[in-house]
A and B are shown apart, each in its own frame.
Chain A
Amino acid sequence: MFVGRMIQRELRSSWRRLVFFFICIAIGVGAIVTLRSVIHSVRQAFAGEARTLIAADAVISSNREFPAELTTRITARLAEAGAQSTRSVELATMVRGEAAESRTRMVELKAVEDGFPYYGRMTLAGGQPYDFRLLANGGAIVRPELEAQLGLGVGDRIVIGGRSFEIRALLDAEPGRRLGAFSLGPRVFVSMADLEQTTLVSFGSRATHQRLVRVPDAALDALVTALRGDFTDTFARIRSYKAQEDDIGEDFERAENYLSLVGLVIVILGGIGVSSVTRVFVQQKIKAIAVLKCVGARSSQLLAIYLAQVVVLGLLGSLMGVALAWVTVHTVPGLLLRGATPGVTINYGLTPSAVSQGVSIGLAVSLLFAVVPLLDVRHVKPSRLLRDDSVREPRDWWQLAAIAGVAVALVVLTIWQAGSWRIGLVVIVGLLATAGTLHVAGLVMVRAITPLARSRRFAVRHAVLQLARPGSQARIVLLAVGLGSFFIVGVRALQENLLQQFALDVSTEAPDMFLIDVQSDQVDAVRGAIRSVQDAGSPEPRLIPVLRARVTGVEGRELQLERYEDVRERGSLAREYTVTFRPALERNEQVIQGTFWSDAGPADAEVTDVSIEESVALRFGIAPGDLMRFDVLGRPMTARVTSVRRVNWGDSRAGGFMFVFRPGVIDKAPHGAIGFFKGPVDDKARARLQATLVQLAPNVSVIDGREILQAVKGVVGNVTLAVTVVGSLVVMSGLLILIGAVSMTKFRRVYEAAIFKTLGAGRPLMTAVLTVEYGLLGLLAGTIGAGAAVGLTWGISRFALDIPFRALPGLTGGAILATTVLVAVVGVASSWDVLTRKPLGTLRGE
């Protein structure tokens, strides 16, 4: 009874102040719920994208027909998992118009059944909806390039595998096209039943047989594992949308890991916010508790009163936080995404799991952090009313037990959030280490500025004394703000590093058409043909000479390989290498040992020069000065290693070669060229170029990578956007939490400020003292936090995300400055009422 009434009264009487605590909890919880929800939505979008990339949950594929026995096995497994499946076959074949004089063209045929695709959409020209009936009974859907190359259109008939098909629609985009796949011609879709009427799939055919699988997510992993077991010693493979083996898959994985880490960070940030609020709340109540003790309240009753208050506040604050999150989630991504890539399909919304996590963390953290200080209630003596200094009682077992309990609870919470023991423990250890470092660094830095306490300027002197005083808030704020800025800078820096990694060259200048097998006597004509159709401002087409060579011997200081048989024992050194020659380094190369030639060598040299790639040097112990013997198309050639190059394989615009020769000798050997260039934007012009090149040099294969590059661009765009949205939200909510943490110190400072005013300090002087004090605090916290963040980013880039680390001095410096200004402004602003109001009210209120 008493407890209930007390809670009611307390809540009513200190309503204004409580609103503030309450808002702080709301912000912490709101941040957690918002970010977790956004992350969840983004993940779903990723999963959606990843599924679209293979058009299914999983794909079973084989480069030969599935034996009957295996088919039975697969069917049984699929039935067991409650999965659906649809078959498809991909093969390269020749297509021509029905008229006898029509040209013939190689295409990439894909035969599908009704039901394809499970994910993603077939997009047809003119917005026509895709329907399997377009393919059934002799229908074909073709890419517009084919239409242009054969001079055919919708309604015309083409011959595939001796059968006649009617072109019923033109294809804009298809799901499930393998990224980075080598494409020999435009895509043509037909139905599986029609393909089976031809002899295209028979003994000796080169075809990929696929089964697209749709399966409930819960059963997916088990199905994949089971089938992988069945496929041992067969040619069949299974791949789920989760395990993309290409670069895009890696990018997805990195983005996912990033989001997991950010999710944890935000929980910790929110936790810091909530805990600092709770602490101050309890400290505020110490005097009221002393009064209650005077009038005979028991410790247990008091504990119940304040714990219940914390629960009520925590719950209300958390709910308010959920409301806040709802508003944020429905407005902020929209604002951030305005004007971004169209076609991004991320549906942002609150998720139940995020809401329950947020609310329980809000409640749990506020309770956990309230229990330890509240246990002090038992030692509060009525004498506290008269004496204000904090009398330290020796810690009792109850309190130690409570601290241990809180620690365990925090560990469990973190592990729950991290989703794994290992990551959870790593994060906790990292956090404790960081907190410890911050604490020690705080002590050291506070000591370092102590000499300033003898400054002749009152404001500086007093501000420093405030910070260095025993029992001051400085170390707590330092910890909270330091951790806060640590996480914000860390998340931001990781985001930068991560996005840098995505900078797969998707600029408009990037080459999107590729040539293979250009003969040396065709290079000039091919180059001319390309130049004549390229859009103005496009970079020169690159045609790189290539030839094949084998290493047959090495005479080096470390390595002596007399005969080819010796080379063979060195494994991959004996393989057929594609080599090139040129007079200069490429943009993506740097010499790390020796020197690279700057011109062509003499044509009659008996020993020519060669530059080797770093990995060749490292793996085989070959160094500049060593002699290498090569077999170039059946002829021996000796070359001296003159340099070791490091190639940035990520930037492969100029290709990457293990061996680069000095021109002079090797260029007399017959060689071909490969080429890449930016094709014209106009579809018709591209098709015309292909036709011209085929006529000019029929052996040259033109690979048009635009469709694939565009798909990649879309995906990379989505991932980038998602990471940016989440990163920005972290920074925003982190700032709010920091503001909350700093404002909390106001309640300590208010009283002192009021006393100074009573003693005659003017408003400008008080403002100066507060500015210097909070500014110093911010500077210290910012420096420690940002410094630690650089360490964190390094560790995570290196060990968790597997990306190269870049220091970002601008970001770090900016963060320190921003923290200083922010803490100073927030500190002064939150004490504004003290500065403007008469001190009497404050003194009485306390």
Chain B
Amino acid sequence: MPADAPGIAMLGDSLTAGLGLDTPDTYPSLIEGRLRAEGIARGVLNAGVSGDTSAGGLRRLPWVMETHPTILLVALGGNDALRGLPVADLRRNLAAIIEGGQQGGALVILAGMEAPPNNGPEYTSAFREVYRDLAREYDVPLIPFLLDGVAGDPALNQVDGIHPNPEGARRVADVVWRALTPHLSRLRSSS
């Protein structure tokens, strides 16, 4: 493993890229800060691309895995939902990403998303199931909903109603941090 390998690579969309936010306010930067506070001098690779779907994430995976991250956080699906892409494809793409991450030697953590209610009850429940099923199937840690407690709250989002504001991003960092805590030892041991 190269010396500058990131501790965590975060493969995501605009929520990860931090659309509308300054870089230090994005949740990957916040996590990096918390790692440092814990005495873990490992970088966080922000591999978030605004507008990216699970299909795009799958294509970017090799590029990200070449950096040999210890942990791969997969935070995709929001754009699939906004565009109403078939749930079956989301499942297939995410499964391939998890497999690729695991084969690359990373601990994969899956961040769940929710489809907005306007997509209809059939779509939203099938969408939610994808993350639960995959977490069980591949036995990976699951963050049930990345935007838990943030989505839909005007005080925590930018005017577009989709992207968290700095305060919202801090809450997202809390959610991610809770899921990371049990695995911090991995980052310590491999650094």
Q: Which residue of B lies closest to A200 (CB)?
A: B118
The answer to whether the Cβ of A106 comes within 8 Å of any Cβ in the partner chain is yes
- CB-based contact B121/A199 at 8 Å: yes
- CB-based contact B161/A574 at 8 Å: no
Q: How far is the CA of A104 from the CA of B84 in the complex (A)?
A: 9
For chain B residues 1-46, which have a beta carbon within 8 Å of chain A?
9, 17, 19, 22-23, 45-46
- CB-based contact A200/B120 at 8 Å: yes
The answer to whether the Cβ of A618 comes within 8 Å of any Cβ in the partner chain is no
- CB-based contact B59/A672 at 8 Å: yes
The answer to whether the Cβ of A521 comes within 8 Å of any Cβ in the partner chain is yes
Given that A568-B22, A634-B46 are contacting pairs, would A199 and B117 also be in contact in the complex, using a CB cutoff of 8 Å? yes
**Mask for B45-57, Cβ within 8 A of A = 1, else 0?**
1110111011110
Query: Which B residues touch A198, using CB under 8 A?
Result: 120
The answer to whether the Cβ of A15 comes within 8 Å of any Cβ in the partner chain is no
Q: Which residue of A lies closest to B93 (CB)?
A: A699
Query: Which A residues touch B46, using CB under 8 A?
Result: 634
Q: Which residue of A lies closest to B160 (CB)?
A: A63
**Mask for B89-124, Cβ within 8 A of A = 1, else 0?**
100010000000000000000000010111111110
Q: How far is the CA of A697 from the CA of B86 in the complex (A)?
A: 11
Query: Which A residues touch B155, using CB under 8 A?
Result: none
- CB-based contact A185/B84 at 8 Å: yes
Query: Which B residues touch A299, using CB under 8 A?
Result: none
- CB-based contact B154/A235 at 8 Å: yes
Q: How far is the CA of A520 from the CA of B62 in the complex (A)?
A: 14
Q: Which residue of B lies closest to A105 (CB)?
A: B84
- CB-based contact A519/B55 at 8 Å: yes
Among B60, B119, B121, B123, the residue within 8 A (CB) of A633 is B60
Q: How far is the CA of A63 from the CA of B159 in the complex (A)?
A: 9
The answer to whether the Cβ of B83 comes within 8 Å of any Cβ in the partner chain is yes
Q: Which stretch (A88-96, A357-365, A759-767) binds chain B?
A: A88-96
- CB-based contact A633/B55 at 8 Å: no
**Mask for A634-651, Cβ within 8 A of B = 1, else 0?**
110000000000000000
The answer to whether the Cβ of A517 comes within 8 Å of any Cβ in the partner chain is yes
Given that A235-B154, A548-B50, A634-B47 are contacting pairs, would A106 and B84 also be in contact in the complex, using a CB cutoff of 8 Å? yes
The answer to whether the Cβ of A669 comes within 8 Å of any Cβ in the partner chain is yes
The answer to whether the Cβ of B184 comes within 8 Å of any Cβ in the partner chain is no
- CB-based contact A203/B84 at 8 Å: no
Q: How far is the CA of A202 from the CA of B117 in the complex (A)?
A: 7
For chain B residues 59-99, which have a beta carbon within 8 Å of chain A?
59-60, 62-64, 67, 79-80, 82-86, 89, 93
- CB-based contact B122/A204 at 8 Å: no
Q: Which residue of B lies closest to A201 (CB)?
A: B118
Q: How far is the CA of A96 from the CA of B45 in the complex (A)?
A: 40
- CB-based contact B17/A576 at 8 Å: yes
Q: How far is the CA of A207 from the CA of B79 in the complex (A)?
A: 16
**Mask for B131-151, Cβ within 8 A of A = 1, else 0?**
000000000000000000001
Among A204, A516, A633, A701, the residue within 8 A (CB) of B49 is A633
For chain B residues 151-171, which have a beta carbon within 8 Å of chain A?
151-152, 154, 159-162
Q: How far is the CA of A521 from the CA of B93 in the complex (A)?
A: 14
- CB-based contact A517/B51 at 8 Å: yes
The answer to whether the Cβ of A206 comes within 8 Å of any Cβ in the partner chain is yes
Query: Which B residues touch A106, using CB under 8 A?
Result: 83-84, 119
- CB-based contact B162/A206 at 8 Å: yes
**Mask for A485-523, Cβ within 8 A of B = 1, else 0?**
000000000000000000000000000000011011100
The answer to whether the Cβ of A64 comes within 8 Å of any Cβ in the partner chain is yes
Measured CB to CB, the closest approach of chain B to A107, in angstroms, equals 8
Measured CB to CB, the closest approach of chain A to B36, in angstroms, equals 16
Q: How far is the CA of A519 from the CA of B93 in the complex (A)?
A: 13
Among B56, B59, B120, the residue within 8 A (CB) of A93 is B120
- CB-based contact B123/A94 at 8 Å: yes
Among A104, A184, A576, A670, the residue within 8 A (CB) of B83 is A184
Q: How far is the CA of A686 from the CA of B154 in the complex (A)?
A: 40
Most buried by B among A198, A521, A548, A698: A698
Q: How far is the CA of A93 from the CA of B117 in the complex (A)?
A: 9
- CB-based contact A672/B56 at 8 Å: yes
Given that A161-B121, A162-B122, A235-B154 are contacting pairs, would A517 and B56 also be in contact in the complex, using a CB cutoff of 8 Å? yes
Among A162, A200, A206, A698, the residue within 8 A (CB) of B85 is A698
- CB-based contact A548/B49 at 8 Å: yes
Measured CB to CB, the closest approach of chain B to A635, in angstroms, equals 7
Instruction: A104-B84, A199-B121 are known; give 16 further A-B pairs, CB within 8 A.
Output: A92-B82, A93-B119, A94-B84, A96-B122, A161-B121, A184-B83, A199-B117, A200-B117, A205-B118, A516-B51, A517-B83, A521-B59, A576-B17, A633-B49, A698-B86, A699-B54
The 8 closest A-B pairs by CB, nearest first: A106-B84, A699-B55, A204-B152, A670-B60, A205-B118, A91-B118, A634-B47, A634-B45
16 contacts between A and B (CB under 8 A): A63-B160, A91-B118, A93-B118, A96-B122, A104-B84, A201-B117, A201-B118, A203-B117, A206-B116, A235-B159, A517-B51, A519-B59, A568-B22, A568-B23, A670-B62, A698-B55
* Chain B positions near chain A (C-beta within 8 angstroms): 9, 17, 19, 22-23, 45-47, 49-51, 53-56, 59-60, 62-64, 67, 79-80, 82-86, 89, 93, 114, 116-123, 151-152, 154, 159-162
